[in-house]
Every structure is written in C-alpha cells, then in structure tokens.
A and B are shown apart, each in its own frame.
Chain A
C-alpha cells in the first residue's frame, strides 16, 4: 500500500521494544518488517539497534522506532532505559521451543513491572514455516509438509489462551516467509490509544508546544534526518 499523497495525516512516533529468548527471531521479524528481507542463519544481533518504519493507517501514520535488545538480555542485563517510554512491545517466542514461551511469559511480567502502564504488548510465536500450518501460507516452497516434519511444540491454543488472559495481542508468524509479519505491526499501530501519542493533533496543539517541550534541546541539530520513510503496511 503506497502513501496516498493526500492531505498529510497526523504522524506520531511510537517506541517499540523487542523482547524474547535468544534466537527466536526478534531481529529477523524486524528485518522482514522494515526491509522485507530475511537472512538465513543470521548472526546474533550486532549493529542493528535502532530501526524505524512507518505504518500508514487510514487516519494517521505511525512511525515505529524499533529498539533491539542488542544482546543485553542474554545475561539479564537490559537497562531500564530500554523499557523507558516504550508504547509497544513485541514479545517473541519460537513455536518449536516450549522453553521460549516460558521465557516470553517472564518478559511479559517484566514489562508489566517496568514499562509504562498503557503499553501495548503483542505476543508473537515465530518460525511458523517450520510447522505444517506454515507450509501453505508461506507459498509452499518450503516443502515442510512433505516430510510431515511438523516441528511445532507450542500449540496455538496454549499461547492464545495465555495472551487472552494477559490482555496481549497474539500472532503466529514466519519471518522467513513474511507470513503475518506486517499484520503484527499494523495491529499494534491500531491498538495504540490516540491519547498516548506524542504528537498532539489539531491546529492549536501543534503550534503551541507546552513549556516543557520547548525546553528540550536537540543536540544533533540539522544532522538528525536519517529516518527511513518507506512504507510497509
């Protein structure tokens, strides 16, 4: 879906954090969402820690600022800064690895403890391409069904029930085939309450920054222009 180019819609930035056990595909999901790309046997996250992607909704544009853990979750050493002001979180587990769901539940609890109360959390079971369900949806080229090698170890029912109990969005995805990936982000964008968006709407609000906003300083000055403007959803 391309930008329709009509009157500019209100646009707001949303900080989204990724959480989940190592190697469940956190970075791959983001890479699929931002670049529509997938890398087999990707190295553990290095270097990609701050990606942005716009999500166009009918009435507004959400610009996701996506924070990767940068590996700091490995020894339980994520800084409070990571959760600070996050408005959305993607908690990822691996459908073929039950322990990763346990870990995901731990992260959900951590978010409920540390993050802002209004945060939108989406539970995402990744690697659907390794299950029988994933074969058809992924375009069939994976051939996972042929040897009936269904590697699924976490049922949809189990994860879904948990997500409903905790009030989380829930998706099963494949970063490899791209199945359901943009849907996750669109659903998050739609779930962010308008009242919690940073950019105030309406002619008055946008021209009258509050006293506190006015005192914020931009150290980067004109350097700060590197945001990606492409559209994926």
Chain B
C-alpha cells in the first residue's frame, strides 16, 4: 500500500475542513499533485456534520452506561453541523461550487427565512428582515415614515456604483463612513441596527465609523439583496444532509483530478530543511498493520490544529447546539431560518446568531429541528448567560450541547518563509464569505496569483465527460 504514495507531492494538505478541501480541489484542477490527509476517520474536521450519538459522545453530557440517543430514531438520519453557517445564494462559495461543477454532487434548498430581533427580554419582537423596497413598506420593524426612508435607502443601495459619483448622493466615498450614509437618509437607530447587522451582516458596530468604509457596507447590503432576489425567500441556501457535504464534494473534485485521499492518518513530524518545511512523516491507522510513510512536499497547507506552534488565538466563540421538536416561534413555522439578535438590542458588543434547520434538509428525522445559538465570548465565565437571549428564542429544548468557549485561531506568519500555509478557524459569521476570503488569500500566497473562479474547469474538461 505504501508504494502507492508518491515520494513527492506538489502540495500536502492537512485536515479536510472546507477551506482545505476547496483549496485541494482548486489546486488539483490546476494540475497540482495533491496528497490530502486527515487524522480523523471522517471528512470535514471542524466543519463536519455528525450524528446525534457522535454529538453526545463529543460533549460527554450523558450518564455512563446510558444511551440517550436511542430515543431519537435512526442515527444515520442525523447530520448535525458543528459550525452553523449558511451559503449566501449569490455569494462567492456559490460561485466556486458552480464553476467547479461540485454542484453535481450536492443538492441545495433555500433557507426559509431571515429574521431579526428588536428589543430585549419579554418585550422582544422577531420580524422578517425586509429584503426589498416593497417588503420594507410592510415591515413591522419600522414606523410609517421610517418605512419610506428605508424604502428610498434600499432603492439607492440597488443602484449604487462605487465608480459612478452620480450615484453617491453627493458624499465622498473615499472618506465617507456608513454612519454618514445612514444619516443622509435620516435612518433611525433601530433601522441602522437591522440594516447593518441583519442585512450587511456585520457582527459589531465597528463598521459604522470606518473612514471610507461606506462602499464596503453598501456592497454587503447589495450581496444580501441580490442573494434574496435569486430564489426569493431568504438570502441563504443550505445543502441537503448538512454542511459536511461541502468538504466531501470538493474532496471528490480533487480526487477526480488525481488528488490522493487518506483519512485516519496522523502527522508524526513535519520535516524541515533550512527553516522550510519540505515534507511529512505520517502514520495511517485503522488498517492492519498500520502504515508509516514519509513523503516530500513543495508546499504544505492545513488547518490550525495541525500546527499548534504556528497559530495564535484571536477570540473565542460560544456555541450551543439544541435539538427541538418544534419550529422557532414567530418564524411562520419555517422549516429553517436565521435569527440575528443585534448586539445593541441586548446590551452586548457582538451579535447573537440563531441558525435553525430541520428534517426538510435531511439533517434529522421528521418532527425535529436543530437550532444552533452562537456569539463571540465577551466574558471569561458564565458563558451560558451570554447566549441566553438566543436560547430564549427556542422554547422547549429536548437536548442541549454546549462546551467550553471554542478558540478561534489565525496563523502567526503568512507561510512564505517556512512554506507552511495555515487556514483560519471558521468565524462566527452566519455565512461562508470569510471562508472564501481565506481560500483566496491562501491561494494567492501559494500560487503567486489571484484565484480566478470563472471558467475554472473550462478547457481542461477530460474527454470522457
């Protein structure tokens, strides 16, 4: 078996999270010889979807000798995401899926609704985020006059072009802050809140006062609007059987283009020459006898867990995975939805997100919903209190899984010196746009050129297809 491993690869990839699998897929399509390794027996790493038994065992929240998962139907019917995210239907991940034809292996469904909370405690209301000017006029989130102001703001966003100063309302976009733009339209604090957090999807208010930050904020509002416009109900889509399908799809793409895949394989040692990583020593287990091998690599990339000395913690995410037997209240009995609780509504600095999917997405048996509440940790203890405003939205909870704060890692160096390129942890944002930013960033550092997504597979289609 070991003789099937080449003495050298262009790229050795460690960890099969989404970032790594997209990079493997793209690099394989570009003709690179890729060896892709994961220490786990399954694909996805931190971004996998696991069944309920595995989830109980991961969190250990059950009495020894009992099997609480037995009351929840067939374990194969459960695909519970560890990282809650949706795809923006007009976002970059969608573009990459289409241009690589990975869409052939996946089926997507719309997320039924995108909601935002106004107010706190018993007075809190949850309402649909208006996606276009017409919805703005019907929205209970605003009073009569504010609705009109919001309508003209949304219309302006739709025709904004950063290159065309005639669309800039007389504001200087090179220095203008988003706060100034909101003020130009006379928008109230509550409206700014849901526009910035539930539509532009900023997780804090820092964006409001960035000089020259207005164009980016407007682009984010546009992405939201375009994504809603694509399929109608919400800006989000979600793959059947859970997010864990995404890395599998890209791994398959890589394999089709010659990528070699090894699960159950741990890295024993990174081999260095003159300060540069040039290969790995690894062991594949789960087979008899276990197989030790060594191979060289021109480039090594991977997720932070494979390079503990080369990453730093930049924050902590709090996350509670909850199993419900009902849809979320005030979401029109949606089979899926997102609720954003903007930070200022509940006296926080970071938003709280609630992401909910159900049997409609083949992630659980009929009659169940999976809701994940998450936010960035702001305190060093009592983390459950930080998530409380989100948990309150869920009603009766059958099972709840919440561990210690999850560290967010970033690489210390950019890899150009030591030849090791490390991805970032999945941030708490509700979508994959930052993940694809990371993919692009790593790709340009490795390849020395920008990743062109359009037409990625054109011209290199093999004859058999």
A→B interface (CB under 8 Å): 31, 34-35, 46-51, 68, 70-72, 74-77, 79-82, 84, 212, 215-217, 219-220, 223, 226
Contact = CB atoms under 8 A, between A and B. Distances in A.
B305 interface: no
Contacts of B287: 76
B263 A76 contact: yes
B458 to A, nearest CB: 11
Contacts of A77: 261-263
Interface in B241-260: 241, 245, 248-249, 251-252, 255-258, 260
A132 to B, nearest CB: 32
B89 interface: yes
A149 B50 CA distance: 51
23 contacts: A34-B464, A35-B464, A46-B257, A46-B462, A47-B462, A47-B464, A48-B464, A49-B252, A50-B104, A51-B464, A70-B252, A70-B256, A72-B251, A74-B261, A75-B263, A76-B263, A76-B286, A77-B262, A80-B43, A219-B97, A219-B98, A219-B237, A220-B103
Contacts of B258: 46-47, 71
B105 interface: yes
A79 B224 CA distance: 32
Interface in B1-48: 1, 4, 42-43
Most buried by A among B233, B258, B284: B258
Contacts of B292: none
Contacts of B1: 75
B284 A75 contact: yes
Contacts of B360: 212, 215
A79 B246 CA distance: 11
B98 A220 contact: yes
A72 B462 contact: no
Contacts of B265: 75
B384 interface: no
B309 interface: no
Contacts of B233: 215
A217 B110 contact: yes
B234 to A, nearest CB: 11
Nearest to A34: B464
B460 to A, nearest CB: 9
Interface in B219-233: 231, 233
B29 to A, nearest CB: 10
**What are the 7 tightest A-B residue pairs by CB atom distance, in nearest-first order?**
A47-B462, A48-B464, A70-B255, A79-B248, A49-B256, A77-B261, A81-B248
B164 interface: no
A82 B256 CA distance: 13
B260 A74 contact: yes
B257 to A, nearest CB: 7
B462 A81 contact: no
Nearest to B245: A81
Given A71-B260, A74-B260, A215-B109, 18 more contacts: A46-B256, A46-B257, A46-B258, A47-B256, A47-B258, A70-B256, A71-B258, A72-B261, A75-B261, A75-B284, A76-B287, A79-B248, A81-B241, A81-B245, A217-B108, A217-B231, A219-B98, A219-B103
B94 interface: yes
Interface residues of B, number: 42
B290 interface: no
Interface string B173-209: 0000000000000000000000000000000000000
Given A46-B256, A81-B105, A217 B89 contact: yes
Nearest to B251: A79
A50 B257 CA distance: 12
A81 B263 contact: no
B449 interface: no
A99 to B, nearest CB: 13
Contacts of A51: 464-465
Contacts of A68: 256
Contacts of A48: 256, 462, 464-465
B465 A75 contact: no
B415 to A, nearest CB: 26
Contacts of B103: 219-220
B333 interface: no
Contact of A71 (B42, B110, B255, B263): B255
Contacts of A74: 4, 260-261
Most buried by A among B94, B103, B256: B256
Contacts of A70: 252, 255-256
Contacts of B109: 212, 215-217
Most buried by B among A35, A219, A223: A219
Nearest to A43: B258
Interface string B252-295: 10011110111111000000000000000000101100000000
Nearest to B254: A70
Contacts of B252: 49, 70, 72, 79, 81-82
Most buried by A among B107, B110, B245, B464: B464
Contacts of B94: 219
Given A46-B258, A48-B464, A216 B108 contact: yes
A1 B125 CA distance: 65
A50 B253 CA distance: 11
Given A46-B256, A219-B98, A84 B241 contact: yes
Contacts of A50: 104, 465
